[in-house]
Structure 1
Amino acid sequence: MWTIDYQGEPDSEPEAPDAGAALVFPREILDAHGARVLNPATAPLGSGSVVPDSTVYHADMVLVPTQVLADRSVREWFTAALGELGLEPHLPEDTGNDPGAEPLQWRAVVLRVTRGVAEVDAWAVVQHLRTRLPVDSPVRGLDEISRRILEFGGRIGLNHLLVGSAVIGGEPVTDGHGLPGDTPGRAGFGYATRCPVQVVWPKPVPDPAFTGRAPVVALIDSGSAKHDWFDWRDEPWQGHQFLVSSKAQQKIVNGTPVNAARPQQVPAIDGHEDRPVSGRPLLGLVNAQAGHATFEAGLIHQLAPEARILNLRAMFADGLVSEHALHLALEYVLELVEANQRDPDTGLFVDVVSLSCGYFNENRDDRVYTQSVERLVDEIRSKGVMVVAAAGNYAATKAFYPSGLAGIPDQEKRPFERAPIFGVGAKNPNGSIAIFSNGGAAIKYYAPGAMLISTFPPGIRGSAEPELELRGTRNGRPWIRESYDPDDFRSGFALWSGTSFAAPIVAGQVLAHLIRDHGAQLADVSADAALTRGTAIVKKLQQ
């Protein structure tokens, strides 16, 4: 029997920086994304800044509040400050909501060289911008323009790269939860690599006695793939269970600026399908995160076969997620929920958002510069939407965002104003905490996350071959006898490990509780009703 364990007290490990939190990224992956690993020892600092922690970010982009782009005075300050560095901003097609609108939105802005020779480094740019902020004086105060520059310009930050994978000691824990990209990976600490398996149980069948509104989970992850269990349908969604959205994917495209100075090395997220399978066709290696969302969807479907699954693709094929793409996907979920709460015939109420990616923030204690994801997640939760986030696989106690939001004390003081957020670590089959799982104050729930079996795209076949193979004919029929093929997934199922999969197990169990214990009330999608259900589920999981 498996359980979800609740740990009310933080882990006993020290909260000092972990050696296990060291970031290890292949050079080719960083180059493909125009990214850098921030090195605390060499990072340039502005006046009054503290030495940062390490993080991974797009070197040629910054995240900018939409008020900076829409407010002429603030935009002129931003453009002038960039000009001092020989740079100019290049905006995406979608520049977000109107100034003054809620919630506060951020957009990715590309940094382009306009004169001379300039180093394009978003960290250095952010440091420079902060030195150009107006200084508030208790005697004279600030005029209105300076106040807006300080408020919104001070929130310009890095466009982080989130990972759906992690390393321990520089080596992969599991294939697909190891190095980003298409690294073949090898077992670590006794865990098998991602591999095909055969199952004998049937496809889960919804309970015909359940006639209420089917609860919805949004998987913001890799793309969808064909599978016998899932019949993915685009909008309109009426009557369908497994959902994708061309509108959401177009929103991500429109909100992603293109840097003409840097050749495109990573296939754009221009649709809902999980592709490409291999990032290096001359080798034929299967991408480390291929099938990631399909595996998660299968776990949820096993636990709550009545639930509807909305798959929003924000993850590149190599397992990385640009922070701005996560913002755009979350904005889309918020738009669906708000529309449905205004008019039941429009939009879609999403009961749970499941997130299996994250990043380490460079500012351990500075809340001013870590609000972009937090504000959006909080706004979604205020509508009654529960959020489940994976702890990360670095064996670290440092907060891994967005799961780190579950450890912010201010949110715990207002449990009835927002739906719960669950930070989820992984357990081994024997019930112990998996050695690779992150911990810390934010991770209070632990669910099975090691050596799991779930759905996987059956069309994926990599270049690895069986060690032994015999072919012939017998009674006029083809005959094949071979050893195990480690990347032939025609069975449609795989074994995999990671906190990425512990999170959807919690999401699936939350959905199961909604169906079993609150089925008659699910038709009420008001924020108050959803918050009440969320509070009841927290009590259930903490028993």
Structure 2
Amino acid sequence: MRLVFADHEPHLKPNPRRDHMSGVPELSYSTLDRHGGRVLAPGQVVRTAGQSAPVGTIYRYDRLLVDESVIHDSDTREKLESAIQNTGMWLESQSASSIVAGQGSFRVPVLSSHGDQAAVDAWALLQRLRTVNDEANLPSEILDKVRLEHLMICSKGTPGAGNGEPPPGGGHSYSLGRIPVDMVNPMPDRKSLGRRLRVAILDTGVPTKHPAFDVSDRTEHEDTFVVVDHAFQVKIGEHSDSPAIPLDDPWEGPVHEPTLIGEVASHYGHGTFMTGLLRQISPDVQVYSLRVVHNDGLAYEHEVIGALHHVADQVEAARRGDEEAYNVDVVVLAMGYVDESPDDQPGGWIGDAINRLSALGVPVVAAAGNQSSDRPFYPAAFAAHPQPENAAPVISVGALNPNQHVAMFSNEGPWVSCYATGAGLVSTYPCEAKGSRMPDRRAKSAFLDRHRESHDPDDFSSGFAVWSGTSFAAPLAAAFLVNAIAESGMTEVDDAIQASARAHEALKRLKSR
């Protein structure tokens, strides 16, 4: 198992022949409805005259990201509200959705239809605002501060690509999916250390109890392998603006699909699996687990941005000497989206959050996505954007099969930095997960007080599973990086320049191996 680097620096390369729906995840109608989501298909939407056709993405149809400067300035806000009301819609609420005090990036207003005059659709609204735009009505500098909110999808294996679910039409390109297994090798011992290197995983969280690792809250100042943040999750819950269950607790389980069948939710245990990979490869680190992904694999762009700023706030406070702050050395992300911009250049605030961490010297390791596409998947594709001097790297990670060939499901392209094993991996999984699928055969044992049965496909009481996806290649890459940082002995850094130099030096050592 090793890290394979691209033989070039990551860059964005336009592909005029690309299918406009390339890279857009396939989601069920019920999943989209659960989150107020809609697929933007270029041939089915209105667009401003003279503007290039968009490319496909997934967005929240009744939400907009609006810069706080627009909301806080009464004249500017009134101009925006008036322009929206002229389309037959209004901003139902201007209440703050800032997840972290002082975050200062945006608000999420709720769109509502005025009688039967208009269907609520954020994309159509933006096009109409641009169509009627003139300097006397709604200046372009205001419009530039109003954007779609994307639904971000976690990059676990897709059907037919190692998820244990056959694709439509039968067949199976990967024989191993999310199935229960047992772990023969014990978890490596953890050394007693002073300052541990810390890896933030922004995902579905971890169970409160698992035989492979212990969990504590940040306020308890315990040397557990996993640290959660109840206070942050409460803020997420307080500002939840979705019909889906709020992420107001570090863990929710067990969770099943919202059908009468009772299958284990598609991404339940996703963050647990990621955490277990770090436990195997980097036992001496500490994982900071923030829950921003729902158990169906979707995350809201503004909540992910809020979590990234929260991590940055903690890093800044720790370097100022705040003993209550939680310093972080590496951030791992497994979710992302493809942008509607035809030149694949996102205009949202998530890039600002990534750049802020990078400027603080905190490298961000992000999964490249599982759509078998070369279309840039963000935030991973920020690895191809120019970085300021003295900034830590952004690393995009594709998936390899165990034989080191690129996994069929993995995205790849000139914007991908490196590849790590992401198919057929064994890691931790919530023990309480048990679905409705039954063994093919079952009989009473003739000699023991238990049954004889074939393999139960969704009884995870062993606490381990096999799974596939670039989601899991990303924490492996992060583990290699953090181990290389640990080899330097620089667990403590005083400022952003030192932290960034430490990350680049570790990356250089990995590339030379």
**TM-score using structure 1 length:** 0.87
Between the aligned partners of 1:256 and 1:350, the Cα distance in structure 2 is 26
Partner of 1:25: 27
Between the aligned partners of 1:535 and 1:177, the Cα distance in structure 2 is 40
Q: 1:174 to 1:106 in 2, by over 3 A?
A: farther
Matching residue within 342, 349, 356 for 2:334: 356
Between the aligned partners of 1:12 and 1:114, the Cα distance in structure 2 is 42
Between the aligned partners of 1:359 and 1:177, the Cα distance in structure 2 is 23
Between the aligned partners of 2:84 and 2:354, the Cα distance in structure 1 is 30
Q: 1:507 to 1:12 in 2, by over 3 A?
A: closer
Contact 1:66 1:95 in 2 (8 A): no
Name the SS of the counterpart of 1:417 in structure 2: coil
Name the SS of the counterpart of 2:237 in structure 1: helix
Name the SS of the counterpart of 1:123 in structure 2: helix
Between the aligned partners of 2:471 and 2:166, the Cα distance in structure 1 is 12
Between the aligned partners of 2:293 and 2:79, the Cα distance in structure 1 is 33
Matching residue within 289, 292, 296 for 1:314: 292
The answer to which of 12-21 and 396-405 deviates more is: 12-21
Partner of 1:529: 498
The sequence identity of aligned pairs, in percent, is 33
Q: CA deviation at 1:250?
A: 2.1
Between the aligned partners of 1:516 and 1:397, the Cα distance in structure 2 is 34
RMSD: 2.8
1:216 aligned onto 2:189:
no
1:189 aligned onto 2:173:
yes
Between the aligned partners of 1:346 and 1:456, the Cα distance in structure 2 is 31
Q: For 1:99-498, list aligned pairs within 5 A.
A: 105-131=105-131, 133-135=133-135, 150-165=140-155, 171-175=159-163, 188-208=172-192, 211-225=193-207, 226-241=209-224, 242-257=226-241, 264=243, 266-280=244-258, 282-365=260-343, 367=345, 370-408=347-385, 410-411=386-387, 414=388, 416-472=389-445, 474=447, 478-498=449-469
Between the aligned partners of 1:178 and 1:332, the Cα distance in structure 2 is 39
Partner of 1:139: none
Between the aligned partners of 1:191 and 1:372, the Cα distance in structure 2 is 39
Q: CA deviation at 1:78?
A: 1.4
Partner of 1:49: 51
Name the SS of the counterpart of 2:373 in structure 1: coil
Instruction: After superposition, give the CA deviation of every residue in 1:115-173 in whole Å (9 maximum; x if it has no partner).
Output: 443210111112223345555xxxxxx9xx98xx54343131111111114787xx542
Name the SS of the counterpart of 1:426 in structure 2: strand
Matching residue within 472, 479, 493 for 1:508: 479
Name the SS of the counterpart of 1:193 in structure 2: coil
Partner of 1:63: 65
Name the SS of the counterpart of 1:236 in structure 2: helix
Name the SS of the counterpart of 1:230 in structure 2: coil
Contact 2:157 2:163 in 1 (8 A): no
Instruction: After superposition, give the CA deviation of every residue in 1:91-132 in whole Å (9 maximum; x if it has no partner).
Output: 465344999x8x761232210123443210111112223345
Q: Which runs of 5+ in 2 are unaligned?
A: none
Between the aligned partners of 2:94 and 2:360, the Cα distance in structure 1 is 28
Between the aligned partners of 1:178 and 1:307, the Cα distance in structure 2 is 37
Q: 1:72 to 1:95 in 2, by over 3 A?
A: farther
Between the aligned partners of 2:462 and 2:157, the Cα distance in structure 1 is 28
Contact 1:404 1:423 in 2 (8 A): yes
Contact 1:278 1:284 in 2 (8 A): yes
Name the SS of the counterpart of 2:191 in structure 1: coil
2:184 is aligned with what amino acid?
Answer: V
Q: CA deviation at 1:509?
A: 1.3
